[in-house]
Amino acid sequence: MIEFFVPGHPEPGGSKSAWLNKKTGKILVADTNKKASGWKKAVAQHARLALGPSARLLDGPLHITCIFILPRPRSHFRTGKNACKLKDNAPLHPVGRPDATKLWRSTEDALTHVIWNDDAQIVQQQIVKQYVNEERVQPGAFLQVYTDLTF
């Protein structure tokens, strides 16, 4: 098993824009979320550190667990001297955007050719979104990659 934490604000991926390069005649594709590239670089960097310098890409079937830890919006907190306390009606889970699938898509793309050769190797995945509920926990993503599927 490989596990690592990527600090930062998880960014969604998946929405693309494409255009024709008139000079080369090739179609160019870019992610519409400009912030996704920074997130992808951070994911790849932390994955390389977790894998180690002499490790090779994983092959065979993989099971992934990824927990996205998202910051709570300011509107979830009280004001004034109670600004550090949650409102009674603050939701327990992040049910709004970005959706878990798009968060995972950018993260999965960042790990291709870093941890595994092809994301088609993933046979099981568990993707979770949750809020930061303690001051000492920072936003980011906690990932576990299992190669032994006998659990």
Please count the residues of the chain.
151
Greatest pairwise CA separation for the chain in angstroms: 61
Return the percentage of the chain with pLDDT > 90, whole number.
Answer: 48
Strands 16-20 and 122-131: unpaired
pLDDT for 64 beyond 70: yes
pLDDT computed for residue 82 by the predictor: 87
Return the percentage of the chain with pLDDT > 70, whole number.
Answer: 92
pLDDT computed for residue 84 by the predictor: 81
pLDDT for 134 beyond 70: no
Taking the C-alpha atoms of 88, 89, 94 and 95 in order, what is their torsion angle to the nearest 10 degrees?
160
Q: 2-146: which CATH number, 2.60.40.420, 3.30.470.20, 3.30.1330.70, 3.40.50.300? A: 3.30.1330.70
pLDDT for 140 beyond 80: yes
**Around Cβ 10, how many Cβ atoms within 10 Å?**
27
Which structure tokens are listed for 108?
């999965």
Q: How confident is the model at residue 151 (pLDDT cuts 50, 70, 90)?
A: low
138 in Cβ contact with 10 (< 8 Å): no
At 19-35, the pLDDT tens digits run 888 889 888 877 667 77
At 80-114, the pLDDT tens digits run 998 888 888 988 899 888 899 999 999 999 999 99
43 in Cβ contact with 112 (< 8 Å): no
The residue with greater pLDDT, 122 or 84, is 122
Task: Find, among 93, 99, 135, the residue nearest to 11 by Cα.
Answer: 99
**Around Cβ 34, how many Cβ atoms within 10 Å?**
9
pLDDT for 130 beyond 90: yes
